Amino acid sequence: MKAMVLTKKQDLEITDQPLEILEMPEPFPGDREVLIKVSACGVCHTELDEIEGRTPPPRFPIVPGHQVIGTVVEAGKFAGRFSPGDRVGVGWIFSSCGSCEFCLRGQDNLCPEFMATGRDAHGGYAQFMTVPEHSAFLIPEVFSDVHAAPLLCAGAIGYRSLRLTGIGNDQRLGLTGFGASAHLVLKMVMHLYPSSRVYVFARSEKEREFARDLGAVWAGDTADRPPENLHSIIDTTPAWKPIVAAMKNLLPGGRLVINAIRKEENDKDELLRLDYPEHLWMEKEIKSVANVARADIREFLELAAEIPLVPEVQVYSLEDANTALLELKQRRIRGAKVLMMS
């Protein structure tokens, strides 16, 4: 099978070909796994972190990709949830232990043995992949393959972030950064809480214009002050500076939810600007988002089909994965980027 493979840590300031296209053996499903013929796979900012070594895979080579849509080809001996021909999706959660306190209470995203698709196990930048059957999810018929792919991570992690804000109708939500996940959150808010208002903070004027097109009542730069303070803010950036700015824009009792897998070291001095009276007092709080639970994906796919929530997408061939990744690095973004298998 063809696969786009990461063979070592790469610097995208130096190379424009971080992944190699290789011929690999078609995988064989284990006893409780399914073999999937991949049709589409979303491209995520987390792949940049894997490639450049900020959240590196434990071993090389590795096939990235954790927003996977495909068809079940074969099931393992003890795998009975799916039949050949079923269309399924795979997200960031590849596996967890299933027996720790976190798994038992439905917080498998916090499992100490959590394994990530496309980082700890081969992912969807390939024509075939295997996955434990409990980490695959039926895809509603309302979605095409290309529109379903971003729902598996950008959508599901956006859904988890939105739930963690605790926001409701008649409240104001801020979104810092406006890529694949944030644009889906905005659409979710408009469906779930139609009398709420969304404010977007983004460095790029194109992103701000895109946010206004989708229904944001205001869009400004990360450092701008909105016309009114907000009940909650979701941050999707890899930087510390927006954290300080966001805390200043919260109402008393407001919550900042950080939907990011890591923060850059080169601007960590920004945290020294955190002023207790201005940024934290009056019971403001900060909450991080860690991974995504299986329940998040199940619940979100039901919600997405009900809306229906159709992402804005840019489509690339598998062989053009490097182009998509570089454009993501350069913030040439409008919605989500998706690879389609030939």
Domain residue spans of the chain: 2-153+292-340, 156-288
Model confidence pLDDT, tens digit, residues 114-159:
999 999 999 999 999 999 999 999 999 999 999 999 999 999 999 9
Q: What is the pLDDT of residue 265?
A: 77
pLDDT-flagged residues of the chain (< 70): none
The helix (H) or strand (E) run that includes residue 88 is strand 87-90
Give the span between the Cα atoms of 177 and 181, in whole angstroms. Answer: 9
For domain 156-288, give the CATH number. Answer: 3.40.50.720
Q: What is the pLDDT of residue 333?
A: 75
CATH for 2-153+292-340, options being 3.90.180.10, 3.40.50.800, 1.20.120.350, 3.90.700.10: 3.90.180.10
Model confidence pLDDT, tens digit, residues 191-234:
999 999 999 999 989 999 999 999 999 999 999 999 999 999 99
Q: Are 56 and 146 in contact (CB under 8 A)?
A: no
For the beta carbon of residue 69, count every other beta carbon within 10 angstroms.
29
Same fold, 2-153+292-340 and 156-288: no
Give the span between the Cα atoms of 69 and 284, in whole angstroms. Answer: 39
What secondary structure does DSSP assign to 195-251, as a single string?
T-EEEEE-S-HHHHHHHHHHT-SEEE-TTPPPSS-EEEEEE--S-SHHHHHHHHTEE
Q: What is the pLDDT of residue 263?
A: 83
The helix (H) or strand (E) run that includes residue 337 is strand 336-340
Residue 329: which of 62, 118, 16 has the closest Cα?
16
